[in-house]
Amino acid sequence: MKTASSVFAALGAALLLGLGATHAGAADSPETRPNILWLVAEDLSPILPPYGDRTVATPSLGRLAAEGIRYTNAFSVSGVCAPSRFTLATGVYATSAGAHHMRTQYNRHLLEAVGLTPYEVVTPPEVRMMSEVLRAHGYHATNNDKTDHQFAPTVTAWDASGPDATWRGRSAGTPFFAVLNFGITHEGQVWADRVPCRNLRYHRLFRPSVDGGAHCDGETGPFPDHVAGDLVAPRPPYLPDTEPVHRDLRRVYSNIVELDRQIGLVLDALESDGLLDETVIVFYADHGGPLPRQKRLLYDSGIRVPLIVRFPDGRGAGTASDRLVSFVDFAPTTFSLAGIEPPAYLEGSAFLGTYEGAPRDYVYAAADRLDAQYDMIRAVRDGRFKYLRNFRPERPYYLPVVYREQMGSMRELLRLRDAGGLDDVQAQWFRRSKPEEELFDTWRDPHELENLAAQPGHAEQLAELRAALDEWMRRTRDRGFLGEAEILESFWPGWVQPVTEPPIATRWDGVVTLASATDGASIGYRRAGSESAWQVYSEPFSLDAGEHIEAVAHRIGFAPSATVAVR
C-alpha cells in the first residue's frame, strides 16, 4: 500500500487533473519533458537590437535571438498588465471572463472613486491556472514573483512563489516551469530616483558578489545608470523634441541594459546548473512600452511585444517568424511543449510543440477601465492592418491617469498642450473625441497616425476586420457591455467574496477520495503539519494506518476553504 509520502513524490508524473487527456508517453515520461523558463519583462516594446534598434547593446538578448526564434508579430491582449497577465495565467481572454478592467484586486481608493470595492475575478469552473495544470502533470512550478492576475493564485498554483523562488528548489530529475519577472523596465522606473531592491533581486539570487552597486540591502538602492548623458535615442514623432522627453528615453534604454544584465545572470545560472541544454526559454514582455501614447493604448506601441523562444536542441536558431502570436496562445503552447494536450476551455492555440495549431489570421486586444477612467475600445489586427472600434467615441483619446502623470515626458506633453506648443502629430492624442472606427496600415504608418477608415481605397480591409472583430466578440461573449458593478455582483453576490467549500474525504477499502461541493474547486493536500507546498489532488489514493494528511479547496476568485484533517 502506498504511503502518503510516496503519493506526494509520485503525484506529478502520474496523476491527471481532469483538465484534458495527457499525450501518451510525452507527458508521462519525465526524461522526455523539457524544462520551461519564462523571462518576463515589464512595459517593453521590441526596441531591442534583435529587432533592429541598436541604441544600446544587449548581448544576453542577442544571444537568445541568435540561439532561438525571434517572433516579429507577437501581441498582448491589452495595453496594461493585469488583464494581460490574467490571460497568460489562464489561457482565457480577459474580456470573456470579465477580467478586462485594469486592476480589480488592488488600489482601493481608485475603485472606490468609481463606486466599487476591490474584488477578484471568478473564472468559469473548468478554468485552472496553467501552472496548476503543469503541476498536475509532474512539473515543479515556481513564480518570481509578480501575481497581478486579477485574482489571488489558488493554493495549488505554485510549488513556490516569491522573491526567492527559482527552479533550484525542486527534486532531482523533476522538470520545472519557472517564471521570472523583471520589473526594471516598468513605467514607474522611468521617473524614479531610486530603484526598489526587488527589481535588482536577480543579482542577489544568482551573483550576490556582483559589483557596481547593482544590489542593495534595504528597500531601495541607487538607480543603475548604463547610458551616457549624450545618448541619442530614437524619438517617436508623437513625443516632443525636448529635454524632459530625452531624459525619459535615456532612462528607458538604461533600464533595457540593466534588464539584459539580469537576464545574463539567469542564463549563466542556468548554464552553471547544467540545465541550459534541457530548458526551453521564452522571453517576452507583458505589453508594450512605458511612455505616453504607448502603455494603456491599443496601438502597436501598447500591445506589440518582443518574443524570443530558444530550444535546447537549437531548432530554429537565429531565425525570425512573422507568425501572428497572441498572449492567449501562451498557455496552450506551454502545454504543447510539455506534451500535454491543451484543455478544451482554452481560447487560443499552440504555436509550437506536439499540439501546434494552424497559424492564426488575427490577434485581438481590448481597453476598458484604466484606474478610475472608463473607456471601451476593441482592436483586431492581421499581419498588416489594424482596426480599432471606439465604443465610447465621446470620450477623449487621452485620459488623465495620475500614475502616468509622474513621468517627465507626460508632464511635458501636458505643458506644451496647454501652451499650444504641440505639432499636429503630437496633438492628436489630445483630441476631445474619437471616430467610431479607425484603420491603420502598420507597414506604411507604424506609429498609427493616419486613419484610413473613411478612405474608399481601404473599404475591403475595413469590412474584413470589422467582421472579424464582430465575430470574435460574439464567439468569446465579450463582457465589455456590462457595467463593472454588475460584473462584480455576478462574481461576489452582495459584493462579499464567496468561500470555497472544504474538502470532504471518503474512504473505501483503504482508498481516500477528496471532493468539494464548490463547482470548479481545486483541492490541495500535504502531510499534516507540513509547511510544504500543497500538492494537486487528481485521483483517489491510499494511506497506511496512522498516516495523517490535511487538505484544502480553492476556486479561482473565491476565498480558500478551511483546512481539514484526513486520517
Q: Per-residue pLDDT tens for 245-265?
A: 999 999 999 999 999 999 999
Is there a domain that residue 227 lies in?
yes
For residue 556, the domain's CATH number is 2.60.40.10
**Same structural domain for residues 158 and 236?**
yes
Active site residue 81: yes
Would the pLDDT of 14 be above 70? no
Is there a domain that residue 101 lies in?
no
Would the pLDDT of 450 be above 90? yes
**Same structural domain for residues 261 and 328?**
yes
**Same structural domain for residues 240 and 265?**
yes
Is there a domain that residue 202 lies in?
yes
Task: Specify the pairing of strand 140-144 against strand 160-161.
Answer: parallel
- What is the Cα–Cα distance from 513 to 516, expressed in whole angstroms? 10
- What is the Cα–Cα distance from 206 to 210, expressed in whole angstroms? 9
Phi, psi of 342 (to 5 degrees): -60, 135
Give per-residue pLDDT as tens, 263-284.
Answer: 999 999 999 999 999 999 999 9
**Among 2-6, 205-209, 499-503, the least confident range:** 2-6
For residue 162, the domain's CATH number is 3.40.720.10
Mean pLDDT on 484-513? 95
Is there a domain that residue 308 lies in?
yes
pLDDT band at 209 (very low <50, low <70, confident <90, very high): low
Give the three-class secondary structure for 50.
Answer: helix
Neighbours of 225 (CB within 10 A): 14
Supply the pLDDT for residue 1.
Answer: 39
Would the pLDDT of 538 be above 90? yes
pLDDT band at 215 (very low <50, low <70, confident <90, very high): low
**Same structural domain for residues 37 and 1?**
no
Give the three-class secondary structure for 157.
Answer: coil
**Same structural domain for residues 11 and 78?**
no
Residue at a domain's end among 359, 376, 403: 359
Q: Render 348-387 in DSSP notation, one character per residue.
A: S-BSSSTTB-PPPS-EEEEE--BTTB---EEEEE-SSEEE
Q: Dihedral, CA atoms, 349, 389, 400, 197, nearest 10 degrees?
A: 10
pLDDT band at 211 (very low <50, low <70, confident <90, very high): very low
Is there a domain that residue 181 lies in?
yes
Supply the pLDDT for residue 214.
Answer: 55
Residue at a domain's end among 359, 381, 405: 359
Supply the pLDDT for residue 6.
Answer: 38
Is there a domain that residue 458 lies in?
no
**Among 204-218, 486-500, 550-564, the least confident range:** 204-218
Give per-residue pLDDT as tens, 59-107.
Answer: 999 999 999 999 999 999 999 999 999 999 999 999 999 999 999 999 9
Residue at a domain's end among 297, 332, 359: 359
The catalytically annotated residue of 36, 47, 56, 81 is 81
Mean pLDDT on 199-203? 92
Give the three-class secondary structure for 537.
Answer: coil
43 phi-psi bin (left φ>0, alpha ψ -120 to 50, beta other): left
Instruction: Name the domain count of the chain.
Output: 2
Is there a domain that residue 548 lies in?
yes
Supply the pLDDT for residue 8.
Answer: 38
**Same structural domain for residues 194 and 269?**
yes
User: Under a CB-based contact definition with an 8 Å cutoff, are residues 82 and 148 in contact?
Assistant: yes
Supply the pLDDT for residue 27.
Answer: 41
Would the pLDDT of 348 be above 60? yes
Domain membership of residue 534 as a residue range: 1-20+498-567
- What is the Cα–Cα distance from 321 to 474, expressed in whole angstroms? 30
* Mean pLDDT rounded to a whole number for the chain: 93
